[in-house]
Amino acid sequence: MVNTLTIERETHKLEKRLCRLVGQAIVDYQMIGEGDRVMVCVSGGKDSYGLLDILIKLRERAPVRFEIIAVNLDQKQPGFPEHVLPEYLKQLGVPFHVENQDTYSIVKRVVPEGKTMCSLCSRLRRGILYRVADELGVTRIALGHHRDDMLQTFFLNMFFASKLKGMPPKLVSDDGRHVVIRPLAYVAERDLVRWAAHRQFPIIPCTLCGSQDNLQRKQVGAMLKEWERQHPGRLENMARSLQHVVPSHLGDRSLFDFAGLQATGVPDPEGDLAFDPPSFQTEPAQSLDPEGDALPRLQVVTL
């Protein structure tokens, strides 16, 4: 009895945290407004199921009215259980559309054996979903990328493309015609794993990218998980850093006029004490807010 009550209490806290974080991301980046028609891309994985689930909950209490339509791209992967998603979406009572396009055969034919399939698969999928968005008259395209996906993308660009570039919470699509949103931008993957287990989503494994173990993204993901294991709170700090960029303390001459920099006699709030050792904040210790969620409590240490 005690265990059941504990599980129920923890699940309730998880649901509140997910709704709060998604709601906060939507507000911070003005992702959804009055009358929007939101296309939620549902792949059959835990993240897109979680996104759809949370948006449905938030729609019931949101101060603005918006529509949701779930869209799945059936890429004709061998063994894909094409009945699973339609049956699940019918049970939810949410409008949905299944787009049938055999991108699987194209990817397998074009990409050499052993090479990464994600790039081509993503381009094909993106183009199809943009067309479907036009046909359905949607105003927002919602993707299920979460906080950890965004951090992985940041490090992948740093390590392999020599760029400080991430995966933004909101952007205009590369064809310039659609607004793409990522409402899970503040949500940790571990919470989506727990929520998927609680909700018993009918997960459909990917036999393309998901079947490749040598992906750089998986390697970076493993690195981040190890950091979080050794230093709890580090990923949260890194995610927050993406919202607090100081161009004058990087090196991009297109963002800051280093060539024209001169002493003005005016203190710079972002300035360094040039000859002193830097001070850094440790990873957040865990404390509880009145609702029972873990909140960061930062301490300053000098290294």
Distances 207 to 44, 77, 108, 202, 274 between C-alpha atoms, Å: 12, 7, 11, 16, 53
| SS3 label, residue 254 | coil
pLDDT for residue 124: 83
Distances 203 to 5, 143, 206 between C-alpha atoms, Å: 27, 17, 10
43-57, 194-208, 262-276: which is most confident:
43-57
| CATH level 2 (architecture), domain 2-236 | 3-Layer(aba) Sandwich (3.40)
> Rounded to whole angstroms, how far apart are CA atoms 74 and 55?
22
pLDDT for residue 303: 28
Q: Is the pLDDT of residue 293 over 60?
A: no
Mean pLDDT (whole number) for 135-164: 95
Distances 69 to 41, 140, 241 between C-alpha atoms, Å: 9, 10, 33
Q: Is the pLDDT of residue 294 over 50?
A: no
User: Of 86-90, 182-186, 220-224, 272-276, which gets the smallest average pLDDT?
Assistant: 272-276
pLDDT tens digits, residue range 63-78?
Answer: 999 999 999 988 888 8
Reported confidence tier of residue 292, pLDDT bands at 50, 70, 90: very low
pTM for the full predicted model: 0.84
Mean pLDDT of the residues in the chain:
85
Q: Is the pLDDT of residue 214 over 70?
A: no
